Structure 1
Amino acid sequence: MRITVLTYLEKKGDTAYDPVADQVANALRAEKHTVKVFAVHGDIVALVEGLREQRPTLVFNLMEAFGGNLCGEIGVAGALQLLSLRHTGGGPGEFYLQQDKALTKELLAFHGVPFPNYAVFRKDHYPDTSGRLRMPLIVKPLRMDASIGIESNSLVRSATQMMKRIVAIHEKVKDAALVEEYIEGREFYVGVLGNRKPIALPPIEMDFSGLPAGMPRVLGRRAKWVKSSPEYKGTRSKIAEIPNETKLQLQRVAIDAYRALRVRDYGRIDLRLTPAGEVYVIEVNASCYLEKSSEFATAAQAAGIRYVNLVNAIAKLALARFRRPY
């Protein structure tokens, strides 16, 4: 096949892009596909003209933003759809449902998938949560991913702390604030691969044991991106060492959430497991990060799926989906 690996540039006029694009491209080339990496910053004309010129059989869509719009992957998916190009991952409708965490929770509720109690605070609407939400709470942006807007003080234990974080998200992140009950317990990530018959990969556990005493067990922005921080140094992901019954429970809930949110081809479900054995969905990550050392690729490796095979399986799943839509 002729495959275009679509990714984004960090800034206008730059030539650097996320190294995962080359990793994916090389994995596809290993199966003799003709592959081009196409990186765009925020120029819709360049995006459309470049794709028309390349005329790919399949677009491997790694777009997580478009220019300065951190939610721009919805528009990119829409452009691919309007251009009638087959591509990995969902369309604009699916991405919108997964990106708006309140809509995500409403769909999970409809399908009976457990999640924490929550409320949404928009700039023009502050709901009355008295008696509905139990402290502690975690306050985060409604639509951002990659832990943007999640800091150590995002875990709040009073109404005053909660309001300060809500205002900070409104003013600094420019998003509505999602306030949800904090689930005390272990944190797991379950990758899911497939469409008609999705399979769950071995769970990955986030190990918070290296964090300083008293620091919230939350994977915030600094834990993900600031390598010199105690949060980054004190957290690590690992293959979960859990009883088989617990593993199957996590995988079952992950697949239920994956199906409820109409995730296409591949994704990762973030979960919390309480000491009482209750599982809650924290987030649904469609088209999750595919870097070789990511939690998704690590889980696939633990299941006996090499990186090259994983990437090519995703491409085949996408192609089959367009041949036989449902």
Structure 2
Amino acid sequence: MQQVIILHNHIPQNAPEDVLDILRQAQWIEEILRQKGYSVTLLPYSLSALEQLDKNVVVFNLVDSAPGEEMLSYLVPGILESLKLKYTGCSLANLFLTTNKVLAKKLMAEHHLPTPAPYSKESEKGLYLIKPTAQDASVGLDEHCLVEHAEVQTRLKEKEAQIGCPCFAEQYIDGREFTVCMYGTRKDVHILPPYEWVFNEYGNRAKIITYDAKWTEQTFGYEHISAKYTHDEADKPLIVQLEHLAKDCWKAFDLNGYARVDFRIDASHRPFILELNANPSFYGFYHLAQEWNFSFEDLIVSLVNQAAIL
């Protein structure tokens, strides 16, 4: 019987919702794997505990950051590799490149992948979106992050002081938003059908998926943004384009495991890659499985089996 260790963050008292969600996903995957006949143990991240693990286990890595340091989220796969432990998900190199959004954007530009233009004093006028360089889960993102070109430098400093980490700014793409989930090996990637985030009754509000929109119940965004998993006939050419771009991202970043790409579509129907997340949650994968009639449980098992043979 294959033993699986589900590795997750330490969950402190009064943890924010995005951190609590890591434990929920760990328990969810534990239940799936137990039902599939695996021996499963949940383990909060600990170097000493990892050092004692048998080399034949598979570590299902759900740690989305080194303790207290989003900028160092790639360290956990690095530690697993140094201990010669098999693990699911993307590698140290994958996470190093994708966790730092500025670094990731440079690599996208080198591979001619469309992404919003970065802010500079010489860049064109218009709206810019300020984002943390290395935070995920939309941490630090709110409506005040959308600013005019002339305000960017001042607001950048204010945002960095507010959340205590480096930030950057890029051109705001006002339009539709899509997500593409994918998984596989470096040579063989499975691109799942893109789905759209619909901003219902937003009117003149900024169409941004903020932290509150993701995690805080009874806020406007939380209650008015919904996922649409089916495709309209008129969107078929766009859907094909997004699938091709997602595959190009997989190749450009030499990914292995599972990942998510977020897109914005401008008024001229041009797609822009907002970001590539090499350690995403599994909710998108689950809902796609429900919509498109494939087994989410088998997908989880395939990730374990893939890690076991590497």
CA RMSD of aligned residues (A): 2.1
Partner residue, 1:174? 164
**Which residue of 109, 116, 130 corresponds with 1:139?**
130
Partner residue, 1:43? none
Partner residue, 1:35? 40
| In the alignment, structure 1 residue 247 sits paired with structure 2 residue 242 | no
Distance 1:159 1:296 in 2: 40
Partner residue, 2:66? 66
Q: Would the aligned equivalents of 2:55 and 2:86 in 1 still touch at CA under 8 Å? A: no
Distance 2:302 2:254 in 1: 18
Distance 2:136 2:100 in 1: 10
Q: Give the SS at the match of 1:156.
A: strand
Please state how far the C-alpha of 1:262 moved relative to its aligned partner. Answer: 2.4
**Which residue of 263, 269, 280 corresponds with 1:277?**
269
Please state how far the C-alpha of 1:12 moved relative to its aligned partner. Answer: 7.1
Partner residue, 1:299? 288
Partner residue, 2:11? 10
Please state how far the C-alpha of 1:56 moved relative to its aligned partner. Answer: 4.8
**Identity across the alignment (%):** 24
Matched residue type, 1:166: L
Q: Would the aligned equivalents of 2:101 and 2:133 in 1 still touch at CA under 8 Å? A: yes
Matched residue type, 1:132: S
Q: Would the aligned equivalents of 1:202 and 1:302 in 2 still touch at CA under 8 Å? A: no
Deviations along 1:118-146, one digit per CA (max 9) or x if unpaired, are 04xxxxxxxxx233244111111111111
The alignment covers a number of residue pairs equal to: 301
- Alignment gaps of 5+ in structure 2: none
**Which residue of 215, 218, 226 corresponds with 1:225?**
215
Distance 2:216 2:36 in 1: 36
Distance 1:175 1:37 in 2: 30
Give TM-score, length-normalised by structure 1.
0.86
Partner residue, 2:179? 189
Q: Would the aligned equivalents of 2:285 and 2:296 in 1 still touch at CA under 8 Å? A: no
Partner residue, 1:150? 141
- Alignment gaps of 5+ in structure 1: 41-45, 120-128
Please state how far the C-alpha of 1:287 moved relative to its aligned partner. Answer: 2.5
Q: Would the aligned equivalents of 2:57 and 2:86 in 1 still touch at CA under 8 Å? A: yes
Matched residue type, 1:237: A
Distance 1:276 1:103 in 2: 27
Give TM-score, length-normalised by structure 2.
0.90
